[in-house]
Amino acid sequence: MRLEPGVTRELHWHATAAEWAFVLAGRVRTTLVDPFGGAEINDFDPGDVWYFPRGHPHSLSCLGDKPCHFILIFDNGYFSEFGTFSITDWLGHASKPLLAKNFGLPETTFDGFPKAEAYFVRGPIPPADAVPLQGALTSPPATHKYQLLAQEPHSVHKFGREWRVGANRFPISQTMTGVILDLHPGGLRELHWHPNAERMAVCHRRPV
């Protein structure tokens, strides 16, 4: 997914899968709410990872004046948009009197509210160094952010190196383990197999 400056992937949740992401470029701000009322706001830079368990509402925003780019991976091979629910699609089907009563606001507040899913929304461009305001929100017991490439490599070999993060280092990530593998020119990850897990790979030429 790529987001242009000032663009937000609106608050949404996935009913069928957890979401794991690796940031390639730019800065991303995520806002997450868990089923117990906890909320967390985090900023991500290239090399950072997030994990959102199934059913946890979250939004994704581009910070600064440059686009952001990240890879999204879901832990269910049958994931689709039919199992994803957006806040505008949900509230857009509620009547204005109901929304006014629910939020304690005048009905006119919702005059321009979308009647269908917005998916992406655009607003003022926030500065890249904007400080997230947690305010009175209660943080979840486990963070949803891990700075993968800021860590020492998990292992270093003659022709490459590997970073790895799973639930042992990133406790919230109960269904996904992520690996970043750097191969030197001409390097080969020797023939191997995984007897207890499936694997999906994305090739990316990362700047040195």
Active site residues: 9, 12, 14, 19, 58, 81
How many CB atoms neighbour CB 139 within 10 A? 12
Q: Which helix (H) or strand (E) holds 88?
A: helix 87-91
Do 101 and 75 form a contact (C-beta atoms < 8 A)? no
What contacts 181, CB < 8 A, 6 or more positions away?
160, 161, 162, 189
Q: What is the C-alpha separation between 34 and 55, in angstroms, rounded?
A: 8
The amino acid sitting at 76 is N
Max Cα distance, the chain (Å): 67
What does the block give as tokens for 95?
């009547």
SS3 164: strand
10 Å CB burial of residue 92 (0-12, 13-18, 19+) is: middle
